[in-house]
Amino acid sequence: MKESGEMYLETIYILSKSKSYVRSIDIAEYMNYSKPSVSRGVGLLKKNGYVTVDNDGYITLTDTGNKIANNIFERHTVLTKMLTLLGVDEETASADACKMEHVISEKSFDAMKNHIKSSNKNFLI
């Protein structure tokens, strides 16, 4: 999956945690993207089986979409935490984590996650 698709899935995941429903307009506002861009992105996610869209325009992650979104969100959270532990300010850490989460290998990510867990007992993933 391309980085843009992962970003859409992560956004839907985040929005669904705070809203009872997610629509394309919510995604556009959150990501600061145009409505046509979001419509195209959601259409591709739907075509590939990552989301469903009901007759009212409510977007729901499928099991596969939710699994990918949860993985990306976890990567973002862990990488942001790691960078802040190194002294990077929260805003920069989050922006950098957003870039890193799409390219880091599973092996490197797991090593970082395990290191943070073992060295920082208060860290919850």
Is residue 124 assigned to a domain? no
**Please, is 99 exposed, middle or buried when counting C-beta atoms within 10 Å of its C-beta (0-12, 13-18, 19+)?**
exposed
For the chain, how many structural domains are there in total? 2
Give residue-wise pLDDT tens across range 22-78. Answer: 999 999 999 999 999 999 999 999 999 999 999 999 999 999 999 999 999 999 999
Rounded mean pLDDT, 86-114: 92
Angle at 8 between CA 5 and CA 12, to 5 degrees: 140
Is residue 114 assigned to a domain? yes
pLDDT for res 85: 85
Q: Can you read off the two tokens belonging to residue 59? A: 């977007």
The whole domain housing 72 covers 68-119
pLDDT for res 123: 56
Q: Are residues 24 and 46 in the same domain?
A: yes
pLDDT for res 2: 83
Q: Are residues 58 and 73 in the same domain?
A: no
pTM of the predicted protein model: 0.84
pLDDT for res 86: 87
- Decide if 15 contacts 7 (C-beta within 8 A): no
